[in-house]
Structure 1
Amino acid sequence: MLFLVAFVAGAVSAFAFQPVGLWPLMPIAIALLCELLSRDAKLKRALLIGWLFGLGQFVIGLNWIATAFTYQAAMPAWLGWIAVVLLSLYLAVYPMLAVGIAWTFGRSRPIALVLCLAGAWAITEWLRGGIFTGFPWNPVAATFDDTHLLNATATIGTYGLSLLVVLAGGLVWLLVRREWRVAGGIAAVLLALHFLPRPDVPDHPQNIRPIRVVQPNIGQQDKWRPGFSEIANQRLAQLSLKPGGAHPRLLFWPEAAVTNPLQDARGGPYQAYAAFEQARAASVVGPGEYLLTGGIALFSKDGINVTGAANSVFVFGQGARLAARYDKAHLVPYGEYLPMRPLLSSIGLSRLAPGDVDFASGPGPRTVALPGWGKVGFQLCYEIIFSGEVVDRRNRPDFIFNPSNDAWFGSWGPPQHLAQARLRAAEEGIPVIRSTPTGISALVDAHGQVVKSLPWREAAFFDAALPLPAANPTFFARYGNVIPLLLGFALVIAGIALGRAGRYRRNT
């Protein structure tokens, strides 16, 4: 019975994430997890409770991955749910590890259990973001994206906020147990953090720097259809050129907005066609303007055959002048490259995005100065979910452009993606601009608040003023994930000390 309750509690906690966003469900589910752990006397059973809790949370929260597999023509749609379950079986190991640490060192006292669980949860979420290329999607911190505690990420980062979410769950459990004194201490800490000030934004001249974010509402079923590129370009151009806003502007298009290569290292007609695509895309760019768009670059070692590709952001000035190109560094397995390609290809499994050539990784975060507009950093699609890895710290940008293709993420993926972009903005104190083909496109300020957005599955654009400059470097921006890791270890050590003190008092 305990095991079933653990799985159901984890599944219910997934509704604390977007798009449902019932954030109190997460602390309640964590409180129930603490109660289950306090009732079990064996480590193996406690580990299974933690694993089942994580399994329930990930299977429900990552349901959008099943939608991505519906675009696999050679495989049945139900395979998507198999993929969700298999991935969740692995990801559930991380909450299991957190629970194992908490049970091993904190089971003797309620406060020790809560502190160890909170600290270990932050540490294991950090591990989840790095092991096997990392998949830190939906840290529990993302459930608090619409609470004032989002401000705490500027100091302690996303994993630190996850620690606070688990502490909030522990607080609920301690209140139910009538552990008034220790519950009051945790409540005081959470209340104090609730009033943390936002990072300061320096004064700047009030000159308006207008931007336009374009969302063409092009679904994945159409995006790569032969001959559709002409329709897509017309739609993008129409939305870009519609009256409204001020000039000159920065124009933002989504990831892979142009599906034909914008650069091609093969000779002859291939380079000419790439030049044509550049000119067609940049036809919307006026004097003093720039277009930032997703596109593809093809590589060739011999000038004849394609030997590689890059998923890129191109920055075009007037006349199709290429000002910069950023190549995505953190690639998506099965989306942008196929692991174990010979084996998986033989059974009919291909990349979820069309193409037989795997993308190559770029060098990492890059900052580009755009005269008159400030400095822009780039994070392509799900690169934005990696806490502490989104900016070049030696050359801090004024804003981050995060083009994405969320068209195959179902209805749950896009709002979850936006929530994690908000965490990055609040952590770094840097505005984030998102352009996606089907939504949710948005402008997020340096405090993680959504200034403007476009609804899911709507062809539209919005005009806004570029929120320059960024906030002063936050504490997290200076020190990164060292802060939440130190905090996590400190809580685990404090929990161990309190647990041993409790056992000593009972023995004497």
Structure 2
Amino acid sequence: MERLAGRIMLSSGFGRTFIAIGAGAVGALAFPPFGFFASLFISFTLLVWLVDGATGNPDGGLWSRGWKTFVIGWLFGFGYFVAGLWWLGNALLLEADEFAWALPLAILGLPACLAIFYGFAVMLANLLWSDGWGRIAALSASFGLIEWLRSFVLTGFPWNTVGFGLMPIPLMMQTSNLIGIFGMSMLAVLIFSAPALLGTKKGMVPGLCIAALAMAFHLGYGLYRLSQPLVADGSALTVRIVQPGIDQSRKMLNADRAEIFKEHLRLSALPPTEGQKRPDVIVWPETSVPFILTQNPDALEEISKTLEDGQILLTGAVRMEDAGAGHAPRYYNSVYAVDSQGQIIGATDKVHLVPFGEYVPFENILRSFGVDNLISLPGGFSPAATREAITLPSGKKLYSFICYEIIFPGEVPDDITTSTAIVNVTNDGWFGNTPGPYQHFQQARVRAVETGIPVIRAANTGISAIIDPLGRIVAGLDYGQKGIIDSTLSGPATGALTADMRHIHFWLLFALLLVCSMIARTGLMKREN
């Protein structure tokens, strides 16, 4: 290990660039559909050695070393995000004649921008870099901070946050309820970077012991939490999820709209699956209704004929709002609640829109260059000001998260623990059978664990599932399957922590790692002097 570490540290030029990009790319194997979390041991071990080589340059001043480590972090991040997000380009190929020119921007441009965050993470860690375990603590703290910033800076995009790499199965998801996904990122870097100490020896014994104890706590807490019973709910909802399996190219054809609507109705009307009660709530995926529902009373009548007395349909649909004389109408990506009389009894709109998918940022400038939305609506979608719950006639409250809203911890309302479930409606058909839908599904599972609330996930082409508050799949349909899921919701998790408590624990862990790295850095400076 020492010889390998020395070669990595002393690498230069193209070889060093290749190692940095490759180290990041290997880390993408930790995420679905692969779930090979051990790949991140390779990634972060190589990253530590690369930074060791940059900070160990006696001829470089603070700025020189800072810039070199920023470049290392950026190259690492570029490989990580290209390998983890290449599938985004699939959405552009559905209308290749119009959007193929943007493929390099999706496959290379977005990763290049996201990699800036990792460049700053490594550069910040370099300020407190030392020659022992302290540098592992510095890298862990800086990645936790930067991943937190990545969740909201420039609208945010916390996809494939490093912490997800340490959570391939429910046993390894439970710690997220204590420290949240950004705390999990610090824990992940702490554990995955530890093997780097084998190559440099300094601080090896305490560093490996700390990493081993952290992993043992992580697994032990998972075992403990999975052993706890869920809160009993005597009036639990029985839910049907409809997964119609409509190919995205077909959804874009106006001629098929009526037939697509009928497919949803047909699946909704099927008898309960064996051993299940009649569903109280039927859930359709994002934008399942292929027209403006409020302008189509015949469609509402068809829904009322399909639903039995007392049943409620939750469906994704486009909602139009009149903006007044002389103004174009506003469109919202919404979820409607429709009762068995065909009446709309509730609606909630998407808050966090997808840039370039649902709206164009800096619209006046970019539209002049011909940049447009992937979704063809005049002016794109408008965002809702706040996230509203849908309250059922029974009094049960459901919070909807439309599409990728589920990946944002900061989007979860403070009163989420008063709700019966989170409803995540999405249409991942844009991305085909690529890693994208599988990664999206994992993040929905972790959100259930973080909040301690069940998740009802309805996806057009999959993956749809009922997820319990501990991240376990109660019932589901894989990608590409057409069908229904009937299941009864569980109650919430026992002793689930609030978002405020997770924030406190995150900052306490950050402060602890920061203090450890500062002490190690101070000790190094004393030895050098």
* TM bucket, shorter chain: over 0.9
Distance 1:322 1:46 in 2: 56
Distance 1:220 1:303 in 2: 35
Aligned positions of 1:365-384 closer than 5 A: 365-372=387-394, 374-384=396-406
| Correspondence for 2:518 among 496, 500, 505 | 496
Q: Secondary structure at the match of 1:62?
A: helix
Q: Which residue of 1 aligns with 2:184?
A: 161
5+ residue gaps, structure 1: 264-272
Would you say 1:88 and 2:111 are equivalent positions? Answer: yes
1:191 corresponds to which residue? Answer: 216
The letter for the 1-side match of 2:78 is L
Unaligned runs of 5+ in 2: 1-14, 58-64
Q: How far apart, in 2, do the equivalents of 1:328 and 1:337 lie?
A: 12
Distance in 2, matches of 1:406 and 1:282, equals 28
Taking the TM superposition and a 5 Å limit, the aligned residue runs for 1:52-131 are 52-72=75-95, 74-77=97-100, 79-106=102-129, 108-131=130-153
Deviations 1:407-434 (A, max 9, x none): 1123121111111111111111111111
**1:262 equivalent among 293, 304, 310:** 293
* Residue aligning to 2:363: 341
State the SS of the aligned residue for 1:52.
helix
Summarize the Cα distance change of 1:487–1:282 in structure 2 as closer, same or farther, 3 Å threshold. Answer: farther
Change (3 A) 1:282 1:118: farther
Task: Find the counterpart in structure 2 of residue 297 from structure 1.
Answer: 319
Distance 1:190 1:286 in 2: 50
Match of 1:252 in 2: 283
Instruction: Give the distance between the partners of 1:252 and 1:304, measured in 2 at CA.
Output: 36
- Output the CA distance in 2 between the equivalents of 1:372 and 1:393: 18
Cα–Cα, structure 1 residues 364 and 486, in superposed 2: closer, same or farther, change >3 Å? Answer: farther
Shift of 1:128: 0.6
Check if 1:171 corresponds to 2:202: no
Q: Is the 8 A contact 1:13 1:26 kept in 2?
A: yes
Task: Report deviation, 1:30.
Answer: 0.8
TM-score (norm 2): 0.89
Establish whether residue 5 from structure 1 lines up as the match of residue 27 from structure 2. no
Aligned-CA RMSD value? 2.1
Partners of 1:171 and 1:186 within 8 A in 2:
yes
Alpha-carbon distance, 1:295 to partner: 0.5
- Assess if the C-alpha contact under 8 Å between 1:54 and 1:96 holds in 2: yes
Alignment of 1:300-379 (within 5 A): 300-302=322-324, 306-372=328-394, 374-379=396-401
Change (3 A) 1:404 1:248: closer
Amino acid at match of 1:352: L
Shift of 1:248: 4.1
CA distance in 1, matches of 2:498, 2:68: 37
Which range moves more in the overlay, 238-247 or 324-333? 238-247
Rounded Cα–Cα distance in structure 2 between residues aligned with 1:92 and 1:5: 16
Quickly say closer, same or farther: Cα 1:482–1:386, change in 2 above 3 A: farther
The counterpart of 1:182, out of the listed 195, 207, 215, is: 207
Q: Which residue, 468, 485, 494 being the options, matches 1:462?
A: 485
Contact 1:287–1:318 (CA<8 Å) still a contact in 2?
Answer: yes
> 1:448 matched to which residue of 2?
471
Which has the larger displacement, 143-152 or 324-333? 143-152
Deviation of residue 341 (structure 1)?
Answer: 3.3
Q: Which residue of 1 aligns with 2:269?
A: 241
Counterpart of 1:466, as a letter, is L
Find the counterpart in structure 2 of residue 225 from structure 1: 253
Residue 253 of structure 1 aligns with an amino acid whose one-letter code is W
Name the structure 1 match of 2:8: none
1:355-374, Cα deviation, whole Å (9 max, x unpaired): 22321111333333324473
Secondary structure of the residue aligned to 1:452 is strand
| Secondary structure of 1:198 counterpart | helix
Deviation per CA, 1:240-291, whole angstroms, max 9, x where unpaired?
Answer: 112223214211100000020123xxxxxxxxx3333333344322112111
Alignment-mate amino acid for residue 302 of structure 2: R
CA contact (8 A) 2:316 2:335 kept: yes
Letter in 1 for 2:444: A
The change in CA–CA distance for 1:203 and 1:425 in structure 2 (over 3 A counts) is closer
- Figure out how many residues of one structure are paired with residues of the other and give that number: 496
